[in-house]
Structure 1
Amino acid sequence: MGSMFRSEEVSLVQLFLPTAAAYTCVSQLGERGLVEFRDLNASVSAFQRRFVGDVRRCEELEKTFTFLQEEVRRAGLALPPPEAGLPAPPPRDLLRVQEEAGRLAQELRDVRGNEQALRAQLHRLQLRAAVLGRGASLAATSSDGPSERTPLIQPPKGPHQDLRVKASLPPG
């Protein structure tokens, strides 16, 4: 047992785990918080590692959760604090959680896009209503002035004002 001035006794061990049991073993060790992992493949690039697909999937899931959390905050709702000591979900449940979170995020993106489209349409309709209201008020105040049926250009006055051209087709 450690004291205030010394750390606890530490042992360096190396585990060899079968691939099928690696997730469960690592998650249980990590939940206990008593293990520190060291990377023994530091010379291998991140793209050549065995579980790089799983790590990318977790990063995408983290981005999705961050987006969902921001949308909840934007809606003015508060999320309850996370429960302490939640176990890591099994891989099949993780896939289900990923699909559900992706579906919810897509629905929220669709709702946000629809909201923006509706706001733009509302703005256009408000502008049209304002223009129509303004035009109606102008028509009501200027009833003694020219109306819609009064021609803007007056016909010419003079000796040829009643001349009309008759167009007729020759007999066929």
Structure 2
Amino acid sequence: MTLCQLFLQPDAAYSCISELGELGIVQFRDLNPNVNSFQRKYVNEVRRCEEMERKLRFLETEIKKDELPIYDPEDNPDAPKPREMIDLEATFEKLDHELKEINTNADALLRNFNELTELKHNLTMTQGFFDDAEMAFTPAHNRNQRDSDDDQVQLLYEYSMISHNKLGFITGVVPRERMVAFERMLWRVCRGNVFLRQAEIPELIEDPVSVRFFLF
């Protein structure tokens, strides 16, 4: 290994350093270790390269997330010319903006789909509860068997007839791990005057923010 010093013209410095880098046989030493990095020459160009590298890593992450093949050339491509850097920077900026917009729209669509899925199961299961309550008030000889919740429904009906109050209802979706705390809160807020029925949604629902799956 030989230690040498090169003096280059500013206009030719980029091309010369690129050629030396392509050879891969040169190691550079910092002759100004005490100079602040913000005061060095070509700091703006280095920042632009770091920003483009960040965008490329983001694109690579999104491509791997969708399990798409990535072309891996056998040889490293040559360093782009200064004029080509401007075109590459504009292309990367456009791809980065479009991909972020696509991700935002995909998250919004997934969130809307989850809300509609929850609403569908909410309406279906609520209708089932009302059907059970309606069957509880039909004559016994018109039914083959009584449901297990008939006694509770009958008590609610008698309470509404005695107190002359119309019972209201509220439906919604709560994550399973919060169900116990939700029941405790309802019991305390309503002072025990609450009738709670629950049913599980049979399918998993994905959270687009944290990429988790919930079972309601």
TM-score tier after normalising by the smaller chain length: 0.7 to 0.9
User: Match for residue 67 of structure 2?
Assistant: 76
More helix per residue: 1 or 2? 2
Name the % identity. Answer: 35
Does 2:4 correspond to 1:13?
yes
Report the secondary structure of 1:16's partner residue: coil
| Residue 49 of structure 1: how far off its partner (Å) | 0.2
| Residue 31 of structure 1: how far off its partner (Å) | 0.3
Q: Of the two, which has the highest radius of gyration?
A: 1
> In the aligned structure 2, how far is the partner of 1:43 from the partner of 1:138?
76
| Residue 40 of structure 1: how far off its partner (Å) | 1.5
More displaced stretch, 99-108 vs 126-135? 126-135
Residue-by-residue CA offset, 1:26-54 (whole Å, 9 max, x unaligned) = 00111011222122222211111011111
Report the secondary structure of 1:14's partner residue: coil
| Residue 134 of structure 1: how far off its partner (Å) | 2.6
Structure of greater relative contact order (alpha carbons < 8 Å, 6+ residues apart): 1
Deviation >4 Å, runs of 4+: 138-141, 143-146
Residue-by-residue CA offset, 1:33-78 (whole Å, 9 max, x unaligned) = 1222122222211111011111111111111111111100001112
User: Match for residue 103 of structure 1?
Assistant: 94
| Residue 105 of structure 1: how far off its partner (Å) | 1.4
More displaced stretch, 18-27 vs 94-103? 94-103
TM-score, length-normalised on structure 1?
0.72
| Residue 82 of structure 1: how far off its partner (Å) | 3.3
Tell me the amino acid that sits aligned with residue 100 of structure 1: T
Does 2:136 correspond to 1:119?
no
Q: Which runs of 5+ in 1 are unaligned?
A: 1-9, 147-151, 157-172
Aligned residues: 141
TM-score, length-normalised on structure 2?
0.58
User: Match for residue 54 of structure 1?
Assistant: 45
> In the aligned structure 1, how far is the partner of 2:119 from the partner of 2:34?
66
> In the aligned structure 1, how far is the partner of 2:131 from the partner of 2:20?
82
The 1:129–1:85 alpha-carbon spacing in structure 2 relative to 1, beyond 3 Å, is: closer
> In the aligned structure 2, how far is the partner of 1:73 from the partner of 1:85?
21
Superposed CA RMSD in Å reads 2.3
